A and B are shown apart, each in its own frame.
Chain A
Amino acid sequence: MDGFSKSIGGGGPNVPAGSHPAGGSQAAAGGGATQRTQYPYVTGTSVIALKYKDGVIMACDTGASYGSTLRYKSVERIKAVGKHSIIGASGEYSDFQEILRYLDELTLSDHMWDDGNSLGPKEIHSYLTRVMYNRRNKFDPLWNSLVIGGVKKGPKGDEKYLGMVNMIGTHFEENHVATGFGNHLAIPILRAEWHEDMTFEEAVKLVEKCLLVLLYRDRSSINKFQIAKITTEGSTIYPPYSLKTYWGFTHFENPAQGAVGSW
């Protein structure tokens, strides 16, 4: 959804507001000014996540684009929420920061009850779904696709949870999710190779395979990734690292082979 919206609008912030057919305009009805979000400015690309034996693993790159410019290269797009969950976001980064603020307020007031209970990933997902859907209905969406993963003790023991919610309020729960370009490039790989109770090493390998495809094919991704995991012991967000890429294909060696020009 995020990748397409940019192409419909004709690219990021460089498009003047007047030539934008799909978006609304600043409507000042009488005395009350209403806002309509037209397009995102600083955006993060895909997030992928999957359930494995001990919990949930989530990964994304650390880049944030400003239209077609890869403006910020050390952005953390996965954060811990409370004791039991991690959240990853693609789309408008400032909206993600605002969502983190809402979650902070939510977890604080939950913490202050001090009743031995704490919000789990299912509750956080439910809350965020309401927030996203209500904003969408006001035509002022938080321009994100959010991935929420976590583990919490339930009636059947430790229950793993992985869900997604996007800017129009569509939400679901699955064994593996991806946002943005990940929907098209990573999901097919995950569908073929995911299985129940993968070990951490297997999960990382699968995630890296998807990240590599996204790195080759998604122009807004960069070669700097962060993997995060959430288990009953808590959340861990690993330091950023790069993947090895291969560009030694024969076709790259003589790119003009099929179309020799005069210069």
Chain B
Amino acid sequence: MSSIGTGYDLSVTTFSPDGRVFQVEYATKAVDNSGTVVGIKCKDGIVLGVEKLVTSKMMLEGSNRRIHSVHRHSGLAVAGLAADGRQIVSRTKSEAASYEKVYGEAISVKELADRVASYVHLCTLYWWLRPFGCGVILGGYDRDGPQLYMIEPSGVSYKYFGAALGKGRQAAKTEIEKLKLSELTCREGIVEVAKIIYGVHDEAKDKAFELELSWICDESNRQHQKVPNELLEQAKAAAQAALEEMDAD
């Protein structure tokens, strides 16, 4: 799908003759090259998982978080340029806080997704800004139940049952489609997400990775939090076992 956008790709405020904004498409490439990020909507909540590629053995485990809490009831998983992602997370937190200051109640997930999308889109409108080199998956649980949104560098935001970004997104999406999400609980969901991430991880190209899992469900009191350690270890073990089974074939 790559075409040379000679001359029309120098600025985000330039359209190409066939109606594309190349800078935004290039930004999407940055997302496509990052570690896989997966989000699914189970019947009682949301599960977010990230394949955090470890670039150096010197890095402390648990550092460079890719999943952030943006409010009590929502979390944001970031794919792409980490520094750009921090900016989006910071803006999302302040949007959620200012909404609560003005209206006296927690922001709805839909509204929050709208605001994130507007902010990301904003940076595609001016030549002195560049688009964000990251896509985000926003999972939240409010009065309307659990919801999952994905916001791309172009600023589009859609609501999903399951979404994936990054290197292994095609394979991940295929796996997600196989799941019966409406019958899955979050407890089962975290095992499935772990399996997917371990499955799409390319051992040849990238060596080490850390699995980051978070959830918002009835069990976590509808609050966004890291999956508790025992459940995380169980999920990792199940995922590794599934991988070995696949390799054995």
The residues of A with any CB-CB pair to B shorter than 8 Å are 105, 108-109, 111-112, 114
Contact = CB atoms under 8 A, between A and B. Distances in A.
Contact of A108 (B68, B97, B225, B226): B97
Interface stretch (B36-44, B69-77, B107-115): B69-77
Interface in B86-130: 93, 97, 101
Given A112-B68, A112-B70, A112-B71, 14 more contacts: A105-B97, A108-B71, A108-B72, A108-B97, A109-B93, A109-B97, A111-B69, A111-B72, A112-B69, A112-B93, A114-B65, A114-B68, A114-B225, A114-B226
Contacts of B72: 108, 111
A111 B69 CA distance: 8
Contacts of B97: 105, 108-109
A112 B226 CA distance: 11
B78 to A, nearest CB: 14
Interface residues of B, number: 11
Interface of B: 65, 68-72, 93, 97, 101, 225-226
B76 to A, nearest CB: 11
Contacts of A109: 93, 97
Contacts of B101: 105
Please classify the interface of chain B as helix (H, G, I), strand (E, B), loop, or mixed, using the class held by over half of its residues. strand
A122 B101 CA distance: 26
A95 to B, nearest CB: 17
A97 to B, nearest CB: 11
B73 to A, nearest CB: 11
A236 B58 CA distance: 44
9 nearest A-B residue pairs (beta carbon)? A112-B69, A114-B69, A114-B226, A108-B72, A112-B93, A105-B97, A111-B69, A112-B70, A112-B68
16 contacts: A105-B97, A105-B101, A108-B71, A108-B72, A108-B97, A109-B97, A111-B69, A111-B72, A112-B68, A112-B69, A112-B70, A112-B93, A114-B65, A114-B68, A114-B69, A114-B225
Nearest to B226: A114
Nearest to A114: B69
Contacts of A111: 69, 72
A108 B68 CA distance: 13
A111 to B, nearest CB: 7
Contacts of A114: 65, 68-69, 225-226
Contacts of B93: 109, 112
A107 to B, nearest CB: 10
A105 B106 CA distance: 12
A114 B226 CA distance: 8
